[in-house]
Structure 1
Amino acid sequence: MAGEWSDPRSFDEESLNDFDLWTTRAALESLVDEALGDALIRRGLRREDLSPEDAREALQANESLLAKLRMLQDQVAAEGSAAFRPRTRPANLGEVGWLILPVLFAVGYLTMLVLAWQAMPLFLKIFTTLALPGGVAAVFARVSRRVSALSARFTTGTVEFGEEQLGLGHRREFALQEIVLPEIRNYVVAHRRLHYGTKLVFGEQRDLYEEESDRIVPTPAAKRLRRILDRAGSGAVALGGQRGSGKTTAIHSLRRGLIHGTENPAPLVVVASAPANYDARDFVLHLHGLLCRTVLDRLREDLPFIADWRTWLRRGVRRLAGLIASAAAAWGLGGWLWDGPFLHFPAELWHLLRQVHFPDLIDPLWTVQPTGNRIALVVLALLTLYQTGRLLALPIDALTAAVRRKRNAGLHELHADAHRQLDRIRYLQTHTSGWSGKLLFPAGADFGRTRSTQRAEQQLTHPEVVAEFRAFAEQAAEQLREGGITERVVVAIDELDKIGEQDKAQQLINDIKGIFGVPGCLYLVAVSDDAVLSLEQRGLAVRDALDSAFSELVRLEPFTLDESRLWITQRLPGVPEQFCHLGHCLSGGLPRDLRRTTIDMVDVTAERYQPSLSAVTALLIREELKAKANAFIGQARVLKQTTELAELWTNLLRIPETHESVELAALAAELHEGATNDIGDPVNLLRHHSSAFVFFCATVLELFTDALTEDRLTPSLHQLAIARRHLALDPHLAWSTLTDFRKAHDVGLPGES
């Protein structure tokens, strides 16, 4: 039945039997056609060698996409949009009236102009004549628009189905940007052209070294954060995840307007880094100052400039000078072209204009005039039109500015208040004023008096600082929303997870949580894994400062295998899939480590031409072994020297010198030999960490060789990335994961013959 709806712009009476479903399909087809016409989408389809027709067919057959549009249509209908049922009918009286009204206005204007022409002074004749072409053009434009809109009302049989009748109303752009375009991008990603090979080749590098890139991987956490921004009016949200999972990237992407809905403007984002050694009062003052500066920057961009009286005076003087200059130019050029004495040009021109009678304008001003007079009249008319427009624009601009100032009075008040608040935060204000006088009397007597006052603003206490911040934040959120600049103010506190002691981090949140809960302000706080664990224990008999401060938790997980592949291919187009899998496994899917690993792979190509997978893996593993061996040896130096540590020390020194996978596996077995479950013993813990890491490197070396073909690139390789994450958290679990992985892939275990 879909073939019967191939043209979303027309239908017949049979389509009315299932009109709701037809409307949804018609809306989907219209939106898909518009989305496929986007230049970026077309470029992406060409880059991946995908057919627009195949994409259109796949999207129109997407039942999930159809259901989303149907729900959106129901929302629009519930908001009060009148349902549309197409039918052939004549135009109603109101529509015809809107067509006749401009015509009646034009006829009335011309009639009044003819009747009042003789009684009008010269300047009014000139003004009405100059305004005539503009009025005629406006009437013509109005009539043409109404005629095109009414033409469908008089058709019979098939009726044109306009975009306004697709049931989306004012949410059509939302449907395009938030529903259809993401599905097309997902289609391009899912059907992108994959490259396989064991030679490291790629196209032009894109944003590889840029921390703040526009190429964002749409992870579930990013989508959830976007939903929170759309629905949350206030509150505090904890942004969790281990180090390197992208919390800072998410905050800065939010600040740059990359994570928000298309129906609302980008939020006003204030980003502050949590101090390691803090004072709660000073930190709130720091937030207050950042908020003031951010508000001022946003108003500088979006608030229209309002000129003061000095600007208007200078503008009026310039317009007057221009008028005098134009009059002089018109006299000089017109007098030179005029058929008569130069000095008599103004008088003769005045005499000619007084003889002109409307509507007979062509004969006295053009037909009977010599060529020089015609040119002079044309020049004079052009200069008159130009200067009339400039002079009329001045009062219009002044009126517009007055209306704009009144409409944006709240924003201007906010601008001034932000300056005052910022000055108050920065400086200790001191104001001194006084007067003195002296009165002389005869015989040398005198009388004098001096008076002075000094005012020094006292330091605010912490509760007062919090109250001041809340008041200004609420005012900023309200005024920015009413002014149409943004719907929400977001205060993001980053790097709280870098505070070493969990008690200090909780104390900081406990001290500043008084600023939370401001209407129109949303707070995002990057917290540590311990804080995430605390928040996930809600409902148990455990409650701390974090539990009482945050209303929601968004956890940023490491990339999945597909997300890592997408991240790498966005920056290294054409890179073989084998190297994408290698980057994911070595980084564990952590975005920060994935960037570093990808950069290291690119650096290999600076020394070797199209290096092989085995060579790249060997070089990366060698650097990893050197770095971690130094770390292990550094840890061993601070431990108490024992016989067990001496034996372990010998094996640790062998790590950077061992390069083959078999030798590394044997070394891992030696490091792990004698390990116990006593994690309280630092030597035993060091044995577990070093052995698990060497075991991981041996497994990667043995797997990522030039023999790694396309059929061996399975999702099970993700277990290596999981083992990589476990190395920093639980080396016992990492060893167990690696053992299971090697068994599943028929890779021999250390010590097996």
Structure 2
Amino acid sequence: MPRHRPRPAWQVADFFALEGEATVYLAAVDACVAEPATARRLGVRPQATVESTRAAMLTEANVARAVEPCQDTQARFRSLLEGEERLRRRLDYLRNGTHPATVLLGSTTLLTLLFLAFASWSTALAAAVVPLMTAAAVWRHPVWRMSVLLNLREWRLRPSLLLVSRRTAWAGAAWRRELEENGVRPLVARVVEALLGEDHDSLLLADSYDGLRSPRSPQYVIDSPAARSLARKITQLESGGTIAVSGSRGVGKSTLLETCANDAGFAVVVQAPATYSPYDFLLSLYVKTCESYLVHHGSDPPAFVRLSTVRRAARRLFPALRNTLTVLAFGLAAGALVVLGLAASARSLATRYERPLRTHAAEYGHRAADVVADVWRGERTGAAVLAVIAGVVLWSLRRWSRWADLRRGARYAVVAIGALLSTAAFGSLFFDGGVRSVMAGIDKDPQSFLLLTAAVLTGLANLMSDQQWEFRGRLLLGTVTRGRIAVGVLLVLLALLLTRPMAQAMVTDPENPLRLACVLAGLLLIRAGSWTPPDPTPYLMTACRDELYRLQTMQTASSAVTAGAAQLLTTHTASLSTLPPNFPELVSDFRDLLTRIAAEQHRREERVVIAIDELDRLGSDTEALAFLNEIKAILGVPHVHYLISVAEDVGASFVRRGLPHRGVTDSSLDDIVHVLPCTLEESKKILGRRASGLSEPYKVLTHALSGGIPRDLIRYGLRLDEITSKTRLVELTDIARQLILEELADTLAGFRTLLSKQRWTPRTSALLIAFRNLTGHLRAGCPCVSPELRRALEHVAFHDLHRHLGEEAAAEIEEAARNLIDEASAYVLFSLTLLDIFGEGDLARRRDEAAARGPEGDLDLLGQARQELEVSPYSARQLIGSIRTAWRLTDGPAAGLPPTVPPARGRDCPRHPRPVA
């Protein structure tokens, strides 16, 4: 879409009191027109362009409709805009040029401030006389005095104008946001629809197909009757149970199981094996349950060492080695710097306190040794009695219940000692003689005091500022944040402060390394006091890890000692191999582990779900029931909900339980949920969530082709995107014909493959020729339905074996081939019906007329007819016939239809030529 220059504000200024309002309105219109959802619809038809849309939005009626929902915000913006205009006029009046006297007075004042900051106190006082004399000279002259007064008023108004301009910009942005959301955007959508015409829904202009490209993503799953029914049944089976989810392929059983698993506290989703192997399935389920439990509690499953995978071991070793080397590199460098800085202070402390401490320690050690020796010799009876009593008390304290409180108190004491030590290090500055002497001369160095005060205030402002001030600061300063500016100012102030003699004297105090050592020791004590040992591994996590080792490995070890001539030789070997337990033991252990997991989750009021999907992949219903009979030993665990995906025939076996006899489903399943194909409304919800902006006719078309099966519904939705990208078609008639004919060609190719396996004679091969010629017509790849193609479709859709082949030839066709022909003919009739409904224009009017003739005109019956084709071609043909009657479509072949389908001629369509390679 080409970009267009915005229309000048004066063209819509008549609708607004101020030109600024017109500018904001034009910006809102341009922003809404440039949105992808709107820009995609412009240029599709000649009358719907960017120019025509903007012209319609600039009419008086549409401007009034767009502005009406946000008049309060507009009034605030207009008030601020008028105030800003008044301030600008006053500034224009005062801004007549700056008089030289004002420049002279300002320059002398600035120089005095610089002397005050960086010169001595006496020089600054002497320089302060210059601006005073300059001000007196300026004030004595009347013209200069008036110029100074005008400039002072101008300087006073400039901050006010800056603040009002910012408030006006905020109000204008707020009005524009509200104008776009509530006024312009809905009106632009209606204007574009009016420009496109009454049949704008027939255009394929979806906003996004992301939901169709991610069919298993949970964010696109919608609520369904089957999901609500399953949730109710799980709630009713509070103590656990087995629920089967029955339905045809692609109806959404897997999505339903995954949704329930995501809502549970602990869930395991497994796929049933494609071949009948209950033991292997239970073993894999056991292993996955243990791994899922470990992952659920934030622990990784154990990695088993394999002797042939040296590369895997290197991949695990190198990251750990890299982390260790990184810690050592930084740790050694940091430790070396700390030791280098504190070495002199440590030697000074050792020299000062080593001898007294050693003398006192030796003295107390000799006294304690004398007391112990006297007690041992029996010379101190009282001390011996006290020793016995102390031993008895100490033994009795081994189970004292207050040890935890004592340890907690010791930790608090360590933290308190660390805090006191760190605080004392800073507090010692006020008692240091050298620092106090430096601080006493602060009156002689006011610059240092000012810089120190500014640094402290900047740091406090940075810590105590609120979010509102920060937000406004970001607006005023653009992309530079308030925090970065404060840090930069603080660093500059500290750098200037270190250039002053007082700061240098305080930093170079000889006791500072010792104070820093005390601070580090205090911080280490605080860290040591707040450290808590890691929680011990829960029992179930240990059990799961042990079960994984038992199920996946067998560890054996052997050792031997061999006597040599001069020494003993020892040998040791170890090996790992897989040796799982037998089936009964596996069932018992799995039930025991799962029972403990379910009991733990039940205490937390969480649900445990074991979802077994794809059970219908086993083949026939007999094999599925046999597999269910083998694994039913693991079912029935308390507080565990088993969800099993089964085919329709297995579900039917459960529904007719006891008629005439009971089967394995009665003893294995507690309830069943039938997942039915979607209705038309449910299909619309699915496509509305997954393909936003898709119009209703395309939702009905995809629903009819898919029969309400969600998997096929998503597939046909992607086919729409593919056709649009390949052919650039956007009209419903063209896209519907293209999609229906392509699907019909693929389906007939499948029928021809099945028909080729039947037995044919020279007289019955005319049917194969008819199918081949029809496939040739469909290969043209053109969305136009030519008269030859329509006659070919009617020939197959309304076929009559006795009329086309004769009585004798029709009798030679076997029953299996006859059934395939009937199914193919019914599907061609269904496709022809879709072509007649969606391949012609003015769908909305014809739909209303068909609905007025009776319930057979409802478009939802098209999806039911597609579903009926899977049951029987004869019942489906009857339903399709009633639909065609309601839509006033022909119920038989056209007059003069030839007895055979003529071969296709290879000519290009002038309306839709084939692309040149």
Which TM-score band (shorter chain)?
A: 0.5 to 0.7
Tell me the equivalent position of 2:796: 667
Partner of 1:417: 543
The match for 1:206 among 194, 204, 210 is 210
Tell me whether 1:720 sits opposite 2:841 in the alignment: no
Equivalent residue, structure 2, for 1:234? 240
The residue aligned with 1:133 is none
**2:220 paired with 1:222:** no
1:624 CA displacement = 1.7
Alignment partner, residue 274 of structure 2: 276
Shift of the 355–504 alpha-carbon distance from structure 1 to 2, 3 Å rule, reads: closer
Letter in 2 for 1:288: Y
Shift in Å at residue 302 of structure 1?
A: 10
User: Which residue of the partner structure matches residue 737 of structure 1?
Assistant: 879
How many Å apart are 1:636 and its aligned residue? 1.6
**Per-residue CA distance 1:206-247 (angstroms, 9 max, x = gap):** 132223222112111122334445564422111111011011
Counterpart Cα distance in 2 of 1:382 and 1:451:
55
Question: Which digits, 9 at most, give the CA deviation of each residue in 1:23-75, with x for residues without a partner?
Answer: xxxxxxxxxxxxxxxxxxxxxxx9xxxx9xx9xxxxxxxxxxxxxxxxxxxxx
What's the offset of the Cα at 1:289? 1.6
Encode CA deviations 1:490-539: one digit per residue, 9 max, x unaligned: 22222111222211110000000101112232211110110111122136
Give 3-state SS (helix, strand or coil) of 1:200's partner.
coil
Contact 1:561 1:589 in 2 (8 A): yes
SS in 1 for 2:672: strand
Is residue 292 from structure 1 mapped to residue 297 from structure 2 by the alignment?
no
Within a 5 Å distance, the mapping from 1:291-440 to structure 2 comes to: 291-300=289-298, 329=341, 368=440, 371-372=503-504, 388-397=522-531, 399=532, 401-402=533-534, 404-405=535-536, 409-410=537-538, 413-427=539-553, 429-436=554-561, 438=563
SS in 2 for 1:207: helix
Shift of 1:330: 7.4
Q: Which amino acid aligns with 2:274?
A: A
User: Which structure has the larger Rg?
Assistant: 2
SS in 1 for 2:220: coil
**Equivalent AA in structure 1 for residue 247 of structure 2:** G
* Cα separation, partners in 2 of 1:366 and 1:418, compared to 1, 3 Å: farther
Identical-residue share of aligned pairs (%): 24
- Which amino acid letter does the alignment assign opposite residue 475 of structure 1? R
Which of 580, 583, 592 matches 1:471?
592
Residues 617, 704 of structure 1: 8 Å contact kept:
yes
Q: Given the alignment of the two structures, is residue 707 of structure 1 paired with residue 841 of structure 2, yes or no?
A: yes
Residues 483-502 of structure 1 correspond to what in structure 2 (within 5 A)?
Answer: 487-502=606-621
Higher helix residue share: 2
| Equivalence map 1:494-513=2 (5 Å) | 494-513=613-632
Q: Report the CA distance shift for 1:454/1:643 in structure 2 as closer, same or farther (over 3 A).
A: closer
Paired AA for residue 630 in structure 2: D
Amino acid at match of 1:431: T
| Cα distance in 1 for residues equivalent to 2:334 and 2:286 | 48
* Conserved? CA contact 1:212–1:252, under 8 Å: no
Matches within 5 A, 1:6-405: 196-213=200-217, 214-229=219-234, 232-255=238-261, 257=262, 260=263, 266-300=264-298, 329=341, 368=440, 371-372=503-504, 388-397=522-531, 399=532, 401-402=533-534, 404-405=535-536
TM-score relative to the length of structure 2 = 0.50
Q: Displacement, 1:685? A: 1.1
2:522 partner amino acid:
T
Secondary structure (helix, strand or coil) at the match of 1:640 reads: coil
Measured on the aligned residues, the alpha-carbon RMSD in Å equals 5.0
Asked if the contact 1:237–1:525 (Cα under 8 Å) also holds between the matched residues in 2, the reply is yes
CA–CA distance in structure 1, aligned partners of residues 608 and 719 of structure 2: 39
Q: In the TM superposition, what whole-angstrom CA distance separates every residue of 1:712-737 from its partner, at most 9, and x where no partner exists? A: 27781111111111112211121111
Choose which of 550, 562, 569 in structure 1 pairs with 2:688.
569
Counterpart CA distance in 2 for 1:201 and 1:452 is 71
Alignment match, 1:554: 673
Q: Is the 8 A contact 1:414 1:479 kept in 2?
A: no
Answer whether contact 2:706 2:716 (CA < 8 A) is retained.
yes
Q: How many residues align structurally?
A: 525
**Of 816, 826, 829, the match for 1:695:** 829
The alignment partner of 2:642 has SS state of strand
Cα offsets for 1:556-597 (capped at 9, x unmatched): 221221221222232322222111111111111111111111
Inter-partner Cα distance in structure 1 for 2:731 and 2:573 = 84
2-structure distance, mates of 1:375, 1:668: 99
| Shift of residue 544, structure 1, vs aligned partner | 1.0
2:636 aligns with 517
Residue equivalent to 1:82: none
* SS class of match (2:214): coil
d(CA) in 1 for partners of 2:504, 2:205: 74
Distance 1:320 1:726, change over 3 A: same
CA distance in 2, matches of 1:202, 1:694: 29
Match of 2:743 among 624, 634, 658: 624
Q: Which runs of 5+ in 2 are unaligned?
A: 1-37, 39-65, 70-188, 194-198, 302-322, 353-420, 442-501, 779-784, 852-856, 896-917
**Alpha-carbon distance in structure 1 between the residues aligned to 2:278 and 2:528:** 53
Aligned amino acid, residue 393 of structure 1? R
Q: Tell me, yes or no, if the aligned pair for 2:425 and 2:519 is still in contact at 8 Å.
A: no
Residues 1:747 and 2:875 are matched in the alignment:
no
CA contact (8 A) 2:206 2:691 kept: yes
Q: Give per-residue Cα distances to partners, 1:645-699, cap 9 Å, x unaligned.
A: 43432332243245648532343111577899xx992122112201110000000
Q: Distance in 2 between matches of 1:738 and 1:466?
A: 53
Cα separation, partners in 2 of 1:452 and 1:290, compared to 1, 3 Å: closer
C-alpha distance in 2 between matches for 1:384 and 1:680? 101
Change (3 A) 1:450 1:598: closer
C-alpha displacement of 1:750: 1.6
Q: How far apart, CA to CA, are the structure 2 residues paired with 1:451 and 1:609?
A: 74
Q: Structure 1 pair 358/657, CA: closer, same or farther in 2 (3 Å)?
A: closer
Contact 1:224 1:554 in 2 (8 A): yes
The structure-2 alpha-carbon separation of the partners of 1:331 and 1:701, relative to structure 1 and needing over 3 Å to count, comes to same
Name the residue aligned to 2:656.
537
Q: Is the 8 A contact 1:437 1:448 kept in 2?
A: yes
Q: Quick one: which amino acid aligns to residue 247 of structure 1?
A: K
Separation in 1, partners of 2:765, 2:575: 73
Distance in 2 (alpha carbons) for counterparts of 1:207 and 1:198: 21
Is the 8 Å Cα contact of residues 432 and 455 (structure 1) preserved in structure 2?
no
Extract unaligned runs of 5+ from structure 1.
Answer: 1-45, 55-191, 261-265, 304-310, 336-341
Residue 295 of structure 1 and its aligned partner are, at CA, apart by: 2.0
Residues 632, 652 of structure 1: 8 Å contact kept:
no
